[in-house]
Chain A
């Protein structure tokens, strides 16, 4: 009995992942379909953002930050992944309303597909980071530390997106609120500056999950140092909380989604 249940769960999981990969491939392809620059748009966005911020802030804010180009770029690409996944998730159910009203497929696949699509973009952006890494003559081995971090970050973003996508169906204003909130988070997170004893910013960032993930990545990948324990616990804690909360809320709310979109 238990064996059959496990086999059924595995089968279901495999089919959800299979569908999500298919959806991700399609969306990745369609995103720049017909565009002259195609997939290069994935590279242009972070490069231009990086170039602009570097030009404006490298002297005033980045002067005391070691390896500032890497510090800045890693912050930008991690924030981009979080921003694009969460912003798109608030519209995901409404954008797929015809499909959701017609076929009884696992709705989670849409979110997993969205995260995978953005993960592809993130990997493109990470290639630029590796290029910078090589140009600065740093040891490439430390790049490997990013693998466990991205797995953790992926689960966090997945849980967060599940939460937003389901709540946005019931609470339409969430789309606009999140659009505004993400700008505040961009400014509040130390992406192009360092907190350096600014207490009000430090306390704000204690409740900002992105702070933990970005600091963890910078410490391990760029500075090759062991992060402080509370940073590690913060990252793992945020992942667990949002992953469990996201799945719980999504499962509670998904049955009414088709009627409301």
Chain B
């Protein structure tokens, strides 16, 4: 079953920038608060298909369009041209911005984020112990999370996401801050989900993680797919290019 089908996708952003202006234009900008904008093409002619039961990695330098692509798949961003079809419940963690509130306890955050991920209160209640157990943060369950480290937040976010019955799991730089043990544990959980028919799209700069767990890789550069295919081949070209 095809979970994600993208055809000839194009995306542009209109972004404010520092432009050389005449004194009059500068005065106008200063008093109105408006800034000059330019249109940047961030995704250009992107086509891809991802099947159920696959883990696809997306690699590339910063600003190559990886997160934007994930946001379009998740339905967060609109696009200018092309077609995007997704089949299944999408759960996304993009830059760990999943709505955790630092003045709430871990348990309260599980209820909040679980709701954002589309789970009912009964479902969250029934999975609460399992979420806490998986995160490895049992002793902090009734503690407010404002003193949590980035790694602890990542454990919590990932644990909630994998318990939310995802059919398409979109992960953007989620494993860059965690410890090795939790990464392995998470990778195992991802494989379980994939065996059950889910699809995982993983954006990461951790090439070892990508090499170890992804079936296919998409290498993006300046908004375009530079190369895509089997993990070893694409990763080989990517590493050669970096030398």
Using a CB–CB cutoff of 8 Å, the interface residues on chain A facing chain B are 15, 18-19, 22-23, 26, 29-30, 33-34, 96, 98-105, 172-173, 255-256, 258-259
Contacts and interface: CB of A to CB of B under 8 A. Distances in A.
A105 B101 contact: no
Closest 8 CB pairs of A and B: A98-B97, A102-B97, A99-B99, A22-B115, A104-B75, A102-B94, A104-B74, A255-B78
A255 B13 CA distance: 14
B243 interface: no
Interface of B: 13, 33, 71, 74-78, 90, 92-99, 101, 103-104, 108, 111-112, 115-118, 120-121
Contacts of B111: 22
Contacts of A258: 71, 76-77
A19 B123 CA distance: 13
The winner among A26, A34, A96, A256 for most chain B CB atoms within 10 A is: A26
B211 to A, nearest CB: 26
Contacts of A173: 33
Given A22-B112, A30-B104, A105-B118, 6 more contacts: A18-B121, A26-B104, A99-B97, A104-B76, A258-B71, A259-B78
B42 to A, nearest CB: 10
Contacts of B77: 258-259
27 contacts: A15-B120, A18-B120, A19-B115, A22-B111, A22-B121, A23-B112, A23-B115, A29-B108, A30-B103, A30-B104, A96-B99, A98-B95, A98-B97, A99-B98, A100-B76, A101-B71, A101-B76, A101-B97, A102-B92, A102-B97, A103-B74, A103-B94, A103-B117, A104-B90, A105-B116, A173-B33, A259-B13
A23 B114 CA distance: 11
Contacts of A30: 101, 103-104
A87 B120 CA distance: 30
A43 to B, nearest CB: 22
Contacts of B75: 104
Contacts of B115: 18-19, 22-23
Contacts of A99: 97-99, 116
Contacts of B112: 22-23, 26
A96 B100 CA distance: 11
Nearest to A260: B14
A141 to B, nearest CB: 36
A80 to B, nearest CB: 24
A102 B99 contact: yes
Contacts of B71: 101, 258
Contacts of A26: 101, 104, 108, 112
Contacts of B92: 102-104
Given A33-B103, A104-B74, A259-B77, A15 B118 contact: yes
A153 B75 CA distance: 33
The winner among A29, A34, A259 for most chain B CB atoms within 10 A is: A259
A164 to B, nearest CB: 19
Nearest to B114: A22
Nearest to B95: A102
A176 B98 CA distance: 29
B16 to A, nearest CB: 11
Nearest to A34: B103
Contacts of A105: 116-118
A236 to B, nearest CB: 33
B233 to A, nearest CB: 32
Contacts of B103: 30, 33-34
A172 B117 CA distance: 29
B39 to A, nearest CB: 12
A22 B33 CA distance: 37
